Structure 1
């Protein structure tokens, strides 16, 4: 299941299916195992912040730490991968989520394979499969990741941060549009995507250790482990990492300097985008910024389910 590369669209499907004050000091970690980073230097008047999210996880583990809340207090704006507060954009992006030239899932599979896919999605969510089958197969694969979570309830860090930002009346923006994200999948043959969808469905009922490993790495805030799992997991889509992951990182880092020069911001993007030589952390360092790991205490509430 392509949970990291296609992660931005999970936030969309989750919605379908479910003047700056002074920044108080935040203690730095003794090790860089954290999801929260301060961006400073390079003539920035005020620091900005970078946070690694997970789009779908167990609700009890989706926690906005006291340190992240402190960042939200001071940041002027919150940038997600896409503007999750813009329902007009979400609706407009539906067209880009459909395969081109009227292709449907049925056109890409044998009759027996099509039956397996349609049976899996029957009764899942408010949209009938006749609507879903026009979508690019990898978008449907994203929906299946939630089934392997083994949680009483699921949530996403973006939704949690969005709620906290709304309380503070912070402006919500996106580093790219949903239509752009959905359009990226046109570069991957639909037949290849359909085979990946079948694999995701066939493994949905199994004990998915990779999903559990990714969840554990996220809870441990271990970016190196997240990076290793991301690269391993996406092996079947070899050749598309630059298109769907690294290329987007470069695009974001080109946009961020102007945004940070204007105001202090929180950039909350999928954790898989942060680590590695092609990750946002290293790319920002290459651009002359100082990236400092900050304490991020994610402690589950005793009443969380």
Structure 2
């Protein structure tokens, strides 16, 4: 198993909580061929989600000032506009905070290289034993396309399989060629390091290994089933994600995943809704809540220096009742959108 590209994809897909893509991967935007009635359903499902639209925000409380950037973890030339806007601000910041900095990525890589059981279950039932023959055949083909032979894939831990299914085969190849995903997070880290601005992680290095630790076997299996439909047309799904992100409406792709699973996963609507609830709780809500205290502490330290803090994390962590913006608002922070000159990713 090619550890480096797999780990890079794991970090990116898990921290974004969305399928991964790259501008170099070719596909069709699925919204463009969706029946109007279905598209209206998606918009209706996303309607009313707090802070749903917008990628870049300012949070202020007294002398404390934080710039929050919803990121997309893979390379795209459209990141240039955000870097032009926020690069100079980052140069003057007291601190950059990201989900996982270089030290955390290095520690995770070392841990997984030293202990393969973090990803591979050497004792439990294999995936072929947990799924029907037809399900396993489809799953094995999807993983093979992502560089995971069936003999290895059969013993992978289900949470890891579900995450990797969200990364298109094209993106896996590009990661291997480039050595890193080249997303907005990495661009921010590179800029901070060049300017001598400290980089601090929002959470411990092993967070990604603990997110799904308390799931039941059935929940693990349904997580894979819910992820399979999009894996069948991953490049199209990935292009749709990228376009939706740069339009500043990432929550719409979250609802697309729900409706796609309704139609194609073989799970009941109730089972799909439960999977979406679990995913939101584990990938977003719990982590968002754990980030607030470190953010407030960093902002207070920076204010003492007469500076602000820049924070970059996956765009889906911004909106929602348990999103970072609403959680800060509930603690007395004033939230306002930051507009980019050309309108891409404007807050709304």
The TM-score with structure 1 as length reference comes to 0.72
Q: How far apart, in 1, do the equivalents of 2:293 and 2:241 lie?
A: 28
* C-alpha deviation, 1:237, in angstroms: 0.7
**Which residue of the other structure, out of 266, 280, 292, is the alignment partner of 2:324?**
280
Match of 1:237 in 2: 275
Cα 1:203–1:250 change in 2 (3 A) is closer
Match of 2:305 in 1: none
**Which residue of the other structure, out of 25, 40, 47, is the alignment partner of 2:60?**
40
Cα 1:105–1:60 change in 2 (3 A) is farther
Q: How far apart, in 2, do the equivalents of 1:163 and 1:269 lie?
A: 15
Match of 2:197 in 1: 170
String of CA shifts for 1:16-56, please: whole Å, max 9, x gaps.
Answer: xxxxxxxxxxxxxxx99532222222442xx2211101224
Contact 2:97 2:309 in 1 (8 A): yes
Match of 1:303 in 2: none
Match of 2:289 in 1: 250
The structure where helix makes up a greater share of residues is 2
Q: How far apart, in 2, do the equivalents of 1:283 and 1:52 lie?
A: 15
Contact 1:80 1:269 in 2 (8 A): yes
Match of 2:76 in 1: 59
Contact 1:227 1:275 in 2 (8 A): no
Q: Count residues with an aligned counterpart.
A: 277
Contact 2:59 2:66 in 1 (8 A): yes
Contact 1:9 1:139 in 2 (8 A): no
* C-alpha deviation, 1:128, in angstroms: 5.1
Q: How far apart, in 2, do the equivalents of 1:289 and 1:222 lie?
A: 23
Matches within 5 A, 1:4-83: 7-8=14-15, 33-44=53-64, 47-56=65-74, 59-63=76-80, 64-83=82-101
Q: Which runs of 5+ in 2 are unaligned?
A: 1-9, 22-50, 175-180, 261-271, 303-307
**Which residue of the other structure, out of 299, 319, 322, is the alignment partner of 1:260?**
299
String of CA shifts for 1:219-247, please: whole Å, max 9, x gaps.
Answer: 11236646755776773514412233212
The TM-score with structure 2 as length reference comes to 0.64
Matches within 5 A, 1:177-216: 177-198=204-225, 200-206=227-233, 211-216=238-243
Match of 1:117 in 2: 139
Pairwise CA RMSD:
4.0
* C-alpha deviation, 1:113, in angstroms: 3.4
String of CA shifts for 1:128-179, please: whole Å, max 9, x gaps.
Answer: 5555554432333333333288999674222232332332233222111242
Match of 2:37 in 1: none
